[in-house]
Structure 1
Amino acid sequence: MSDIREQSLKKPIAVSEYLFRRLHEIGIRSVHGLPGDFNLVALDYIPKCGLKWVGSVNELNAAYAADGYARTKGISAIVTTFGVGELSAINGIAGAFSEHVPVVHIVGCPSTISQRNGMLLHHTLGNGDFNVFANMSSQISCDMARLNKPEEIAGQIDHALRECWIRSRPVYIMLPTDMAEKNIEGARLDTPIDLTEPKNDPDREDYVVDVVLKYLHAAKSPVILVDACAIRHRVLKEVHDLLEKTKLPVFVTPMGKGAINEDHENYGGVYAGTGSQAAVAERVESADLVLSIGSLKSDFNTAGFSYRTSQLKTIDFHSTHCTVRYSEYPGVVMRGVLRKLVERVDVSKLSVPPSPKVTNEVAKNRDSSQTITQAFFWPRVGEYLKKNDIVVTETGTSNFGIWETRFPAGVTGVTQILWGSIGWSVGAAQGAALGAKDAGTDRRTVLFVGDGSFQLTAQEITTMIRHKLRVTIFLIYNDGFTIERFIHGMEAEYNDITRWKYTELPGVIGGSDETVRKFIVKTKDELEKLLTDKEFNDAPGLQFVELWMPREDAPRALKITAEIAAKNNAKMTDE
């Protein structure tokens, strides 16, 4: 017998269908996650709504993959089950929150009746508290939607998805089993969710623009510095428009790598304090004005807080406010300010100093030995990469080595420098590749991951095989946790790992010689032969390269940052 409240509905629709149709509407095409008895009924609606079920191998990897998917597709979704599933995913969701990545986390949970009666169910703590896990996730979500009341559910879903997009952070949606097929008003689907960013108050915005222009027009050596939140909060068009009009030197932080077209004549390289190349550090630190866009000044993003720039010479543009020197303007967000800067800047009043020249310095870093060193490898990677590639780098040597790689135009850099969860990159590469495929492109995804990190999430290769994704994996075999060795314990047992037969792994977990190409590379000549091979460069599917590097070798920037991190870890006082 139908609920009398459903009789007045104009277009009855099940809650699960409403939710998944909204996900499709905002651009999601694949849903990561794992089945569990509290979400199974809801999962039946995924194909009905034009979505694809990914079928991940565990919830942690699914969360990592959802993170990577959102970075190439714009936004993502993951479905887990109550308690055991959602807690396995929580590390990956926390990373997305930390790094401003929009992920919709949907948790199938016990029925509202079971919750109300405090029943002793599986996947609970046995204490009748059904909100304990949601309360944990509340700290890493920008919105919580507990779908308990049919008359409120549609509004809750729409609000959560808007918050996820606008604020570019995860949201948590708790879907009870007895609500999964409950009918709600589907007429709301006729009106798309409003995803437009709230506009600044015009007078306040104009005032900030005037102040910025005053300092910009007076500056003798201004530069632009682009960081992660310029990417996450989708202002790269405004940034490039500003660059094209002003022709100012532009630099990126490690977390901002890929934000700027690195073929642009004004691109000057990666700035990370003492971790920068000398010419980059000199140019940025001598500037009398730094236009800093979307900064996240974490320790690894700044090479151990080693910036030598002054706030007195800095203008910060953020998604929630702008700061001009020491004056903060809350609620005046960067998009509107950047647009008006482009409109109103007087180029005749600008001083435009030259940018440092950025090249992939392969010859300079090639010694006479056949050993593949970090110093040689990363510039050589810059010559291997193609336009519009997706480059995923793992926490450790890869994240720091890629600073020395000049990208071709259109390359998307995918890194996790702030959260820094080892193993993240394997799942993220799967998600990023799937996001590119769902967007209708044939972009290559190239993953660089150390052997230690790879062992945490290696089984995600099976998902790449299952979905026929175009991924090339460079597994850096250097016998353990190199970044940890350089911070502390070069010879310590806890930084050691067991040697795997890495190239045999794809065959064990679902691959074949037809679906996965495998290589072992130990010398510079072998590397050169591989990187110049047309079939390798154009391969449509999965490729796995075991790349040998010395155990006690690391990129220049990693050595610098690790030394500073070790000192910070050992500090006993604030002095």
Structure 2
Amino acid sequence: MATDIASRELATPVDVTEYLFKRLHQLGIRSVHGIPGDYNLTALDYLHKCGLNWVGNCNELNAGYAADGYARVNGIAALITTFGVGELSALNAIAGAYSEFVPIVHIVGQPSTVSQRDGMLLHHTLGNGDFNVFSNMSADISCDVAKLNKPHEAATYIDSALRECWIRSRPVYITLPTDMVGKKVDGERLKTPIDLTFPPNEEEKEEYVVDVVLRYLKAAKNPVILVDACAIRHRVLAEVHDLVSKSGLPSFVAPMGKGAIDETLPNYGGVYAGDGSNKGVKDRVEKSDLILSIGAIKSDFNTTGFTYRIGRMNSIDFHSNYMAVRYSEYPGVGMKGVLRKVIDRMGKLHVSPGPTVSNQPPMDRRTSTDPTVTHAWLWPTVGRWLRENDIVITETGTANFGIWETGFPKGVIAVSQVLWGSIGYSLGACQGAALAAKEGEKARRTILFIGDGSFQLTVQELSTMIRNGLTPIIVVICNEGYTIERYIHGWNEKYNDIQPWKHTDLVPAFGAEAKSYGTHQIRTKEELLELFNDEDFSSAERLQLVELHMPKEDAPHTLKITAEASAKRNKEI
């Protein structure tokens, strides 16, 4: 009775689920990934009337990967799973999103609050009456947990969680018990958008840090800029672009930061990854007397086995929640405000030229008459085929390392999972990225490079792509198994082998109509160049799957170095 009276007192009562879904729509989400289950079914009925499309994935893990890819293109994503069996299947994907700063709203349909209170022996539970065990598992891989157990708290908890998801660029976990789905909250709140502005720095602290940065920057004789993934995740790309353009300083990206700088700018110099860099890049960065390092994530694969040679004495580190100038750290001073003031006040700087980027294979590969497609030849060649605003997705392994040698046209988005490195991630991410691209305002191709081993883990997402009318170009690199694992350990061992598939048969097997796709088998450089020059293929107006055969023993040089370092660490006692 009290609940009914409270509902009548609301000026504009709306159901909890409608409120949640309309907030998702206001954040720019148009499609929701996930799997139906009996604890979320009534909630799914609200999607359509809130302007949201249900994707319908093949399993929860793939749905999580897809939400990750969708968020990297769209800015934020949503995933719906059911209690226990569903949410746990998605945890690997959510952990990856947490690791790599990707904002996903994970909504879990739960048993009713009454069932939870009474500790009922329900399906999908551990049979011990503990209904918090799964939310506790998710708490450490979420930046906020919102349990919608009481109507009068629900709207506040929803708004707070969604703001945290956006600002901190990490997953949040929201529970939606079955008896809360239709409870009423104040719909008037929907008229006021959630405040997504970043908290400003304390003015005096920020001014002090800006002065310190400018003093070192103006005194430097050959400074450079190095941009990494957190510049993308924490939404300072506008500031990065202005800094690179206005300063004219030689500018580089780390592997995880690929795509953060407009690579058509004359002062873009390529990828710096320690010993994995080409010599011109390595020398220019490591001999600089000042490095403006923006959003760095210094993981093993991002630094070619921790081979960065950047000393604290000649670096300034910009992060979302602190600054570090040489050995002095300034907690609570975020990079966004500092960067803007540095750009506005930096004036004339000492600019020494840096290396230039060319989408040309090494000379020996250009002149070779060997028809075999090798990594040294492939990745610069891909760069000449790419178009403005493409979305390029690369799987952990040869593709992730190979794309370092690909120069991007303007506006290209790079999607990879260098830090978390979950095998099979990229096919699910491709589905999400392609869907976000389809919903976007400008036409853009989605292109995936994935190994034959990784492909086998998440192949069902081909079905989801077909179901949703998506048209990515998928290049399956066929090199007889798990190449990166071979280079780390067990070159000829059975555990690094896979069953060869007839990849070109899979698209029709998943139900695609004959005119809605194209399949191709490529074994030579000439065949690949002909395919790239085929406008029917390159226009990406229908799904394309390419079976690209490459030598088992071939891999990018940077992968070999990183794998060697990883193997050495694995043997340390």
The TM-score, its normalising length taken from structure 1, stands at: 0.98
The Cα offsets for residues 314-340 of structure 1, whole Å up to 9 and x where unpaired, read as: 100000100001111000000000000
Map of 2:170 onto structure 1: 169
Separation (CA, whole Å) in 1 of partners of 2:37 and 2:468: 22
Q: Which range is displaced more, 360-369 or 470-479?
A: 360-369
Separation (CA, whole Å) in 1 of partners of 2:50 and 2:78: 14
Task: Specify the code of the residue in structure 2 equivalent to 1:404.
Answer: E
Task: Specify the code of the residue in structure 2 equivalent to 1:410.
Answer: G
Q: Is the 8 A contact 2:85 2:124 kept in 1?
A: yes
Map of 2:17 onto structure 1: 16
Map of 1:489 onto structure 2: 490
Map of 1:359 onto structure 2: 358
| Matched residues, number | 570
Q: CA deviation at 1:528?
A: 1.1
Map of 1:154 onto structure 2: 155
Q: CA deviation at 1:272?
A: 0.2
Task: Specify the code of the residue in structure 1 equivalent to 2:537.
Answer: F
User: What percent identity do the matched residue pairs reach?
Assistant: 64
Say if 2:225 is the partner of 1:239.
no
Q: CA deviation at 1:467?
A: 1.3
Say if 2:108 is the partner of 1:112.
no
The Cα offsets for residues 203-251 of structure 1, whole Å up to 9 and x where unpaired, read as: 1000000000110000011000000000000101001111121111100
Three-state SS of the structure 1 residue aligned to 2:265 is: coil
Three-state SS of the structure 1 residue aligned to 2:14 is: strand
Map of 1:534 onto structure 2: 535
Q: CA deviation at 1:143?
A: 0.3
Three-state SS of the structure 1 residue aligned to 2:459 is: helix
Say if 2:116 is the partner of 1:86.
no
Q: CA deviation at 1:534?
A: 1.5
The TM-score, its normalising length taken from structure 2, stands at: 0.99
Three-state SS of the structure 2 residue aligned to 1:178 is: helix
Map of 1:547 onto structure 2: 548
Map of 1:218 onto structure 2: 219
Map of 1:431 onto structure 2: 432
Q: Is the 8 A contact 2:521 2:547 kept in 1?
A: yes
Q: Which range is displaced more, 437-446 or 78-87?
A: 437-446
Separation (CA, whole Å) in 2 of partners of 1:326 and 1:287: 17
Task: Specify the code of the residue in structure 2 equivalent to 1:196.
Answer: T
Map of 1:329 onto structure 2: 330
Task: Specify the code of the residue in structure 1 equivalent to 2:85.
Answer: V
Task: Specify the code of the residue in structure 2 equivalent to 1:281.
Answer: K
Separation (CA, whole Å) in 2 of partners of 1:207 and 1:180: 50
Q: CA deviation at 1:357?
A: 1.1
Q: CA deviation at 1:346?
A: 1.8
Map of 1:468 onto structure 2: 469
Map of 2:557 onto structure 1: 556
Map of 1:140 onto structure 2: 141
Three-state SS of the structure 2 residue aligned to 1:453 is: helix
The Cα offsets for residues 321-373 of structure 1, whole Å up to 9 and x where unpaired, read as: 000011110000000000000111121xx110112011012362232211111
Matches within 5 A, 1:265-414: 265-347=266-348, 350-362=349-361, 364=363, 365-366=365-366, 367-414=368-415
Task: Specify the code of the residue in structure 1 equivalent to 2:392.
Answer: V
Matches within 5 A, 1:177-196: 177-196=178-197
Task: Specify the code of the residue in structure 2 equivalent to 1:131.
Answer: N
Map of 1:250 onto structure 2: 251
Q: CA deviation at 1:463?
A: 1.1
Three-state SS of the structure 1 residue aligned to 2:176 is: strand
Three-state SS of the structure 1 residue aligned to 2:38 is: coil
Separation (CA, whole Å) in 1 of partners of 2:402 and 2:346: 37
Separation (CA, whole Å) in 1 of partners of 2:356 and 2:241: 19
Three-state SS of the structure 2 residue aligned to 1:352 is: coil
Three-state SS of the structure 1 residue aligned to 2:201 is: coil
Separation (CA, whole Å) in 2 of partners of 1:481 and 1:381: 22
Three-state SS of the structure 1 residue aligned to 2:89 is: helix
Separation (CA, whole Å) in 1 of partners of 2:529 and 2:337: 47
Separation (CA, whole Å) in 2 of partners of 1:260 and 1:36: 42
Map of 2:123 onto structure 1: 122
Separation (CA, whole Å) in 2 of partners of 1:452 and 1:510: 23
Task: Specify the code of the residue in structure 2 equivalent to 1:570.
Answer: K
Separation (CA, whole Å) in 2 of partners of 1:352 and 1:80: 53
Q: CA deviation at 1:305?
A: 0.4
Q: CA deviation at 1:539?
A: 2.9
Q: Which range is displaced more, 439-448 or 294-303?
A: 439-448
Three-state SS of the structure 1 residue aligned to 2:274 is: coil
Three-state SS of the structure 1 residue aligned to 2:275 is: coil
Task: Specify the code of the residue in structure 2 equivalent to 1:562.
Answer: A
Map of 1:99 onto structure 2: 100
Q: Is the 8 A contact 2:362 2:376 kept in 1?
A: no
- Inter-CA distance 363–324: structure 2 relative to 1 (3 Å threshold): closer
Task: Specify the code of the residue in structure 2 equivalent to 1:353.
Answer: S
The Cα offsets for residues 65-89 of structure 1, whole Å up to 9 and x where unpaired, read as: 0000000000000000000000000
Moved over 3 A (4+): none
Separation (CA, whole Å) in 2 of partners of 1:125 and 1:441: 47
- CA RMSD for the aligned pairs? 0.8
Separation (CA, whole Å) in 1 of partners of 2:316 and 2:239: 16
Map of 1:68 onto structure 2: 69
Task: Specify the code of the residue in structure 2 equivalent to 1:144.
Answer: V
The Cα offsets for residues 357-401 of structure 1, whole Å up to 9 and x where unpaired, read as: 110123622322111111111111011111110000000000000
Matches within 5 A, 1:29-68: 29-68=30-69
Separation (CA, whole Å) in 2 of partners of 1:183 and 1:489: 59
Task: Specify the code of the residue in structure 2 equivalent to 1:376.
Answer: W
Map of 2:207 onto structure 1: 206
Three-state SS of the structure 2 residue aligned to 1:381 is: helix
Separation (CA, whole Å) in 2 of partners of 1:255 and 1:160: 27
Separation (CA, whole Å) in 2 of partners of 1:510 and 1:225: 46
Map of 2:508 onto structure 1: 507
Three-state SS of the structure 2 residue aligned to 1:503 is: helix
Q: Which range is displaced more, 370-379 or 108-117?
A: 370-379
Say if 2:228 is the partner of 1:227.
yes
Three-state SS of the structure 2 residue aligned to 1:140 is: coil
Q: CA deviation at 1:466?
A: 1.2
Separation (CA, whole Å) in 2 of partners of 1:243 and 1:401: 25
Q: Is the 8 A contact 2:245 2:265 kept in 1?
A: no
The Cα offsets for residues 431-470 of structure 1, whole Å up to 9 and x where unpaired, read as: 0111111223320000000000000001101111111112
Separation (CA, whole Å) in 1 of partners of 2:296 and 2:501: 39
Three-state SS of the structure 2 residue aligned to 1:391 is: strand
Three-state SS of the structure 1 residue aligned to 2:140 is: helix
Separation (CA, whole Å) in 2 of partners of 1:386 and 1:362: 19
